[in-house]
Structure formats: structure tokens, C-alpha cells
Structure 1
Amino acid sequence: MNLKENVMAVYHGEQPDYYGDLMAAVEFIPDPLFIQDALLPQDGQEYMDSWGTIRIFLPGAPGPHPHITRDNVVIKDIEKWEEQLVVPSIEDLDWTLAREVASKIDRNEKLACFFYPGGLFERSHFLLGMETALMNYMEYPDEMKALLRVIADHKMAYIRRVAEETQPDIIFYHDDWGTKQNLFLPPRVWRELIKPLQQEIADTIHECGMIYMHHADCILEPIAADLVEIGIDIWQGVIAQNDIVKIQEITDGKLAMIGGIDGPKIDVENITEEKIREEVRRAVDTYCPGGRFYPSIPNGICFREWNNDIFLDELSKYGREYAEKHPIA
């Protein structure tokens, strides 16, 4: 099997040659909106994105982040959000590079993937600030619902445009709904405000003939069944702090998952090679029996080069050994 055939075998619950990270089989199509908003100089200076949020990229940081103050926050009063929000146009973006890259991807060998960050929850706290957003979800649900409606409509229009311009195999949608301890919002609030719109987004992705892969490297266990109801095809970023075996039982094989290897646990100094290999084998042995599982580090890599080399070597060896010793009937 080539890379695509192998990961799709896992996706369909069929026998693969080996178990490994689905992300090794994708090629990314550059997103003109992401390039405009998030590919910033690593100089610690302030830059405004297309929605008006100020971001900075500090020297030595892994990536840019919002830098929101009382003075620069986009929405200062949730009851007057319509007066303060300017929704960016998607009509004047340059798709030349995206179309060029998409046309060169060998779709027989690889999956064409479009990375789409800034989901409903993430965009809401970029516009309001995290603390204010969390309070508004509880205290001003009607206003938040109306704001999220506008964001969702923009996202669906953009997804349709992405499909028209580049026709990816996968939309890699990004929205962290929690931390390593719990969800940001109570499940009741998430179900009332986020879930219905997220299902519309999922429907749009599917109507365009694409797989919906959702990144969230956090706790999602309390809403695991909801992920299936929404129509998420693949959950990428499944951290080991979730009870993954329980989630596999709850979702009854309807949700493919990528993750399970505890990256922070093995991406440390003075760890032994055997400890790294042991964690890889633990994840494979524990989660692959549940089916449709891609063992990986949720954020993709160890940042320490030596640790990453050992991790990749063990995943390559043991992922193949496990597949050979545990054939799917």
C-alpha cells in the first residue's frame, strides 16, 4: 500500500500494512487567508488580522498569538457587537498559489488537506478576549448566538470557496474546545450555542465532497457522542488525558481518531530511549484494538530532535509489527 491507501484502510476499518500518523499522508494546500493573518514576522510587533484582532509573534515562541487589551479588543460591548464587528471579505483573496499547489498533489499517493484554523469558539475569544468571551457565553447567550451565526456563515462561505478553488480531500478544521483538564464551556452551553452551527459547518464540508477532520488537542470526552452527531469524521489531536478507550466505546467506531501518545511525557530532557519507545507501544496496544485509530503525538512531533527520532523510529517499527500480528478479520 502507498501512504494514502494505508491511511484510508485504517479510516475504513480495513487491514492496513501499518499503524501510524495520518498526517504523514497529507500535503497541505496553502490558505490565502491564513497566510494573510497568521504568517507574521517573529519580531514581537503588533499586527492586525482580517477580523481586526491584534496578534504578535514573540521571538522564540512556537507561533503567533492574540494580544488583546482593553484598548484594542474588537468587540468592547457584546450588546453592541453589530456596530463593532467588520466581517472580512473573501472576494479579494489571491488563490494563485493555492491552486498551483493543489494541482501538483498526486491524489493517488497523498490526501490534499486544507488547514482551516480559527473555529467558532476560537474566533469568538479572539474578538472579545478569553475571559470576556467565557463570561458572555454564560451571561449573554442570545448575543453570543447571534455573533456565532455571523462567524459560521462566513466560515461556510469560505469552505465553499475553498472547494471551488482547490477541491481538497480533507478540511482540517481547528477549534480547541477545552484544556487538558476540562471543556472551556459547560456541555449544556456548548450544545446550545456551538453544536448546531458546527453541524451546519460539517454539513457544508460534506456537501462539498470533503472529509471533516477536527483538531482539538484537549479534553472532549464529555461531548464525544456529540462529535459523531455533528458529523466530524476524524478527531485529530486526541490527548491521552481523555479516556480514549471509553470514547471508542461511546462512539461505536463512528469516529476515527489521531493521537493517544503523550507528547509532553516523552518530550523532556534526560528521558531514556526505552521510556519513549514504551509510551509509543502503550498507545498502540491500548487504542488500536478499538479500530480506526492513528497513533501519534497530538501536536505532531517532539520538539527535541533526539526524542523525535526515537518516537518516529518506534512508531514505524511497532506500528507495522502490530498490524502484522493483529490482522483485522
Structure 2
Amino acid sequence: MNSRELVFKALNFDNPDRVPRQKWTLPWANINYPDELATINSSYPDDIIGSPGFCKEKDISVGDSTEIGESSDAWGCKFLNYQRGIIGEVKEPLVKDENWKDADNIHIPIEWLTIDNDKINDFCKKTDKFVMAGACPRPFEQLQFIRGTENLFIDLMLRPKGLMDFMSKMHEFYCKLLTKWAKTNVDALNFMDDWGSQKSLLINPSIWEELFKPMYKDYIDIAHKHGKKIFMHSDGYILDIYPHLIELGLDAINSQIFCMPMNELSKFKGKITFWGEIDRQNLLPNANTDEIKDAVMYVKNNLWDNGGCIAQCEFGPGANPDNVEQVFKTWNEIS
């Protein structure tokens, strides 16, 4: 059974031969643990990969967001980074006017629409991995980059017309982008937004349901209309939106499951695939390998249902490489 078949079986709760794998590696790991990372990659290769877009036009992004100094993204937002190997932060909003009268400062990256279907399809044809689209809508996060987090929270309450008009334009662009990718031979689309603090959603769940759930419905519908699976990532405590995501038909969710009560998450077993992860706040940096084994078993015992789990964790700042390796070793042993 190849990687693509494994992932489909996991997503369909159809008894894959083993749990499929995917590790997320930040440049920090390459910089600090290159030999250990090479060993993990060799011993536990990913079953899920992303496709390049092979865009015919370059976007306006400048610099490397994981290097020290300034960079800017494809929307024109400027990031400042003080530590090599991680992603910096936006320190000055692109939109400063409370009524969004300066929204023309934003560049919608239409260059992303110039993907080369033939090259993408050739990429998919030459691999037996499960291939995800090389595009990832993130409306809530991008709005924060554009406006600043505190300003955006106020705007979401006051709803200035300029904000609502731009959200409509952004959503239209993201739908076009996902539709472009859905017409290629990738296996899945994906999107993301970090919605959770440590203990709750960052905004009132009713605002999420009113403004962002309809966007996500469109993304999920685009994927399924074209016969694709669709994945989502969101950090933090997001228990409030799990039932909504399941209702919308989301296939897989990557979330910080150790931030939420496992007895509540287990209610969703068999209804959605848990795309990782293992606690990167405490366990991956500080635990011993026996504790990592126990954590993986804890996930499997509560969330596995003839599938419905993907062995995923993030090799990022502070993670002990022995613990990252132990995650994938344990999943292999128990599946």
C-alpha cells in the first residue's frame, strides 16, 4: 500500500496498514539539528507532501520571513524577525484608517492564480505520495497581518464598510485560488487560521459563525465538488468550532489537541480525521521518550477509529529531536 492509498484509507476510516505520517519542520530544526533531522527523514519519510504552484508570475513578496531582519509578504505586509529559523511578526499595519479608506494599500496576490496545471499534474503523476495543494487561504490571519490584531478585533465588532468590502474581495480571491487548484490532480486542498488562545477562541464564537463559517463552507464545497479532500490547521483551544467544521464536511483538522479536554475531543472520533499533533508546548521540548510513547498511545486510544488519525508533529523551536523521532517510532510500532 503506497502513501497516497494509506492517507485515503485513514481519511475514510478504512483500516490503513499503518498510520500515515507527516512532520512539519521549521527552518530552526534544519539550523540546529541537521543530522538528527536527516535521520528522522530517512527513517520515517512523509506520506503527505505539498505541490509547488510553478506560478508563471512572481508575487511581490521580498526577503525571507525566517531570517533576521525585514521581509514582506505577497499582500504587502511587512514582517520583522529577531530570531533566525522562525517566522517574524507584523509590527506596523498596512491599513491604518479605522474605516479602511486606505485599503488600496493592500495588494491581492493575483500572481498566485498563474499556476501551471501541466507542471502540477506532472508532479502528482511522478509521486505515490498524497499531494496537497500549494495554496493555503488564511482570511483571519491575513486580516490581522493587514490591520493589526487589536485593531481587527475592534473592527470585527464595529464592522466598518471598508472592512466588509475587503473581506468580500479577499474571499472571492481565495475561492478563485482554490478552484484553480481543485482543477489540478492534487489529492487535497487546505486552509488555515489560528483561532484559539490557550483556553478559548480568540473571538466570540457567534462572530466566527457569522463571518468566517460561510467562508469555510465555500472552501470545503469547492474541494468536494471537484472530488478533493480538504484539510485545515488551527492552533489553540478551538473546541467550540469543531462541531461546525464537522457539519461543513471538513475531512481533517490539525489542532493542538493537548490544549483541549480529550474526553470532549473523543466525541468526534470517526467524524473527522485528527491530523496530529503531539504537544509541542511541553512534551516535545521537555518530556522523556517514555512520556512521548504514552502521549501517542493516548491519542490513538481516544481518537483512532479504523483510521481518523495522521501521525503528525512539529519539529520547531525547543523540540527535542529524540522526542520527535519517538513520535513516529511509536506510531509505527502501534499501527
TM-score interval for Structure 1 and Structure 2 normalised by the shorter chain: 0.7 to 0.9
Match of 2:140 among 121, 133, 138: 121
Q: For 2:236 and 2:159, how far apart are their aligned partners in 1?
A: 25
- Which amino acid is 1:52 matched to? G
2:247 corresponding residue in structure 1: 229
Q: What amino acid is the match of 1:274?
A: D
Amino acid at match of 1:225: P
Matched, 1:75 2:92: no
Partner of residue 146, structure 1: 165
- For the residue of structure 1 that corresponds to 2:258, the secondary structure is coil
Q: Render the CA deviation track for 1:58-92: whole Å, top value 9, x for unaligned.
A: 442423x33222xxx21112313465344425258
CA–CA distance in structure 2, aligned partners of residues 39 and 104 of structure 1: 26
Q: TM-score, normalised by structure 2?
A: 0.80
2:264 is matched with which residue? Answer: 246
CA deviation map 1:30-50 (0-9, x unaligned): 245998648716543323323
Task: Give the Cα separation in 1 of the matches to 2:309 and 2:143.
Answer: 31
Asked if structure 2 preserves the Cα contact closer than 8 Å seen for 1:75 and 1:128, the reply is: yes
Aligned partners of 1:89 and 1:266: how far apart in 2?
38
The answer (yes or no) to whether the contact 1:171–1:205 under 8 Å persists in 2 is yes
Contact 2:65/2:72 (<8 A) preserved: no
CA distance in 2, matches of 1:34, 1:246: 44
Unaligned runs of 5+ in 1: 321-329
**Matching residue of 2:207:** 189
Q: In the alignment, which residue of structure 1 is the partner of 2:284?
A: 267
The separation in 2 between residues aligned to 1:34 and 1:272, in whole angstroms, is 45
Identity over the aligned pairs, expressed in percent?
19
The Cα of 1:103 is off from its aligned counterpart by 1.0
1:255 maps to which of 272, 281, 295:
272
Superposed, 1:135-174 pairs within 5 Å as 135-140=154-159, 143-164=162-183, 166-174=184-192
- How far apart are 1:137 and its partner, in Å? 1.0
Counterpart contact for 2:236–2:256, Cα < 8 Å: yes
| Contact 1:284-1:295 at 8 Å conserved across structures | no
Shift of the 142–93 alpha-carbon distance from structure 1 to 2, 3 Å rule, reads closer
Deviates more, 1:177-186 or 1:240-249: 240-249
The one-character-per-residue Cα deviations of 1:180-208 (angstroms, maximum 9, x if unpaired) are 32111110111111111221222223233
CA deviation vs aligned residue, 1:286-308 (integer Å, no higher than 9, x gap): 221485223433x3678322222
8 Å CA contact 1:43–1:57 kept in 2: the answer is: yes
- Post-superposition CA distance 1:149-175 (Å, at most 9, x none): 1111111111122334x4321112121
Residue 179 of structure 1 corresponds to 197
AA matched with 1:233: D
| C-alpha distance in 2 between matches for 1:154 and 1:25 | 30
Aligned length in residues: 310
Aligned to 2:325: 309
Opposite residue 256 of structure 1, the aligned amino acid is: T
Letter in 1 for 2:149: M
Query: CA distance change for structure 1 residues 275 and 153 in 2, over 3 Å: closer, same or farther?
Result: same
Segments of 5+ residues of structure 2 without an aligned counterpart are 24-45
Q: 1:90 aligns with which of 110, 117, 132?
A: 110
1:36–1:316 CA distance, 2 compared to 1 (3 A)? farther
Q: Calculate the TM-score normalised by the size of structure 1.
A: 0.81
Per-residue deviation, residues 225-279 of structure 1 (Å, max 9, x unmatched) = 1112333221123422223442442x5733222125223332225x432222222
CA shift in 2, pair 1:83/1:131, >3 Å: closer
**303-312 or 167-176: which moved more?**
303-312
CA RMSD of aligned residues (A): 3.0
1:132 CA displacement: 0.7
SS class of match (1:177): coil
SS in 2 for 1:183: coil
In structure 1, give the amino acid aligned to 2:97: D
